[in-house]
């Protein structure tokens, strides 16, 4: 044992330290989707077109409604012995069904058309985000939900609170990484350029 101690006395014992590999810094950006959409010229233009489209469809519904009200009035004032009273009743009922059907159809058509536009708008937003990210050397861009706060009211269960917390995307971010205004300018410029080519 003493010999072993003597043999090792000329050497220092070096303990291996764990190697910590640090991840390379990631350049990130955030986008406030609600603020972005509210700043886009194409959205305002599309809304104006949708309003006009809705008014045109509403004219058709109003015409059927007017016809129904006329038919119902004719039935209501018809005398009991009027040979056409039953015919007037069926006419009013037919128009009532058509009116409800067209009214529901109008709502569905407008909803589908809005959905189609939102899908195409989202594709243009993601394309613009990718372009801006490459221009600025960003590796990650996420939606900015900093304004969304965890509900403070009592009565929420742990499950409900956990769902809210887990749906949060951004826990902290400096305003300097907010790309919303730059993205809006890029998309507005592209929309304006596309319009000038028509």
DSSP letters along 125-180, please? HHHHHHHHHHHHT-SEEEE--TT------TT--HHHHHHHHHH---S---GGGB-H
Q: Is the pLDDT of residue 133 over 80?
A: yes
pLDDT of residue 1: 47
* 8 Å CB contact between 58 and 106: yes
Rounded to 10 degrees, what is the CA torsion of 155, 158, 163, 168? 90
Domain boundaries, the chain: 27-186
Closest CA to 114 of 41, 53, 187: 53
Q: What mean pLDDT do residues 136-153 have?
A: 89
pLDDT of residue 11: 46
Residue-wise burial string across 113-125, b where 16 or more C-beta atoms lie within 10 A, e elsewhere: beeebeeebeeeb
Q: Is the pLDDT of residue 2 over 50?
A: no
* 8 Å CB contact between 61 and 102: yes
Rounded to 10 degrees, what is the CA torsion of 188, 193, 197, 198? 10
| Burial (CB count within 10 angstroms: exposed 0-12, middle 13-18, buried 19+), residue 46 | middle
Q: Which residue has the higher pLDDT, 117 or 6?
A: 117
Q: Which two tokens stand for residue 165?
A: 């917390």
Q: Is the pLDDT of residue 4 over 60?
A: no
pLDDT of residue 154: 72
pLDDT of residue 152: 76
Choice among 79-83, 115-119, 138-142, 185-189 with the minimum mean pLDDT: 79-83
pTM value is: 0.72
Q: Is the pLDDT of residue 94 over 60?
A: yes
Q: What mean pLDDT do residues 31-51 have?
A: 95
Q: What mean pLDDT do residues 32-57 have?
A: 94
Give dist(CA 66, CA 64) in Å, integer. 5
pLDDT of residue 129: 97
* pLDDT tier, 25 (very low <50, low <70, confident <90, very high otherwise): confident
Q: What mean pLDDT do residues 52-63 have?
A: 91
Q: What mean pLDDT do residues 10-36 have?
A: 75
**What mean pLDDT is reported for the chain?**
87
Give dist(CA 183, CA 185) in Å, integer. 5
Q: Is the pLDDT of residue 196 over 80?
A: no
């Amino acid at each position: 044992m003493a010999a072993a101690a003597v043999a090792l006395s000329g050497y220092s014992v070096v303990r291996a330290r764990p190697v910590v590999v640090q991840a390379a810094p990631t350049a990130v950006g955030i986008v406030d989707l609600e603020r972005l959409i509210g700043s886009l010229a194409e959205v305002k233009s599309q809304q104006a077109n949708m309003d006009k489209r809705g008014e045109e469809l509403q004219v058709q519904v109003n015409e059927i409604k007017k016809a129904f009200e006329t038919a119902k009035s004719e039935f209501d004032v018809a005398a009991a012995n009027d040979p056409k009273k039953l015919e007037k009743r069926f006419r009013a009922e037919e128009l009532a069904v058509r009116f409800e059907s067209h009214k529901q159809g109008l709502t569905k058509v407008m909803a589908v058309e809005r959905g189609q536009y939102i899908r195409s708008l989202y594709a243009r937003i993601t394309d613009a985000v990718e372009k801006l990210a490459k221009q600025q050397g960003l590796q990650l861009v996420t939606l900015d939900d900093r304004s969304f706060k965890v509900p403070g009211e009592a009565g929420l269960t742990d499950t409900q609170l956990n769902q809210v917390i887990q749906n949060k995307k951004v826990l902290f971010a400096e305003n300097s990484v907010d790309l919303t205004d730059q993205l809006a300018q890029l998309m507005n410029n592209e929309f304006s350029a596309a319009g000038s080519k028509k």
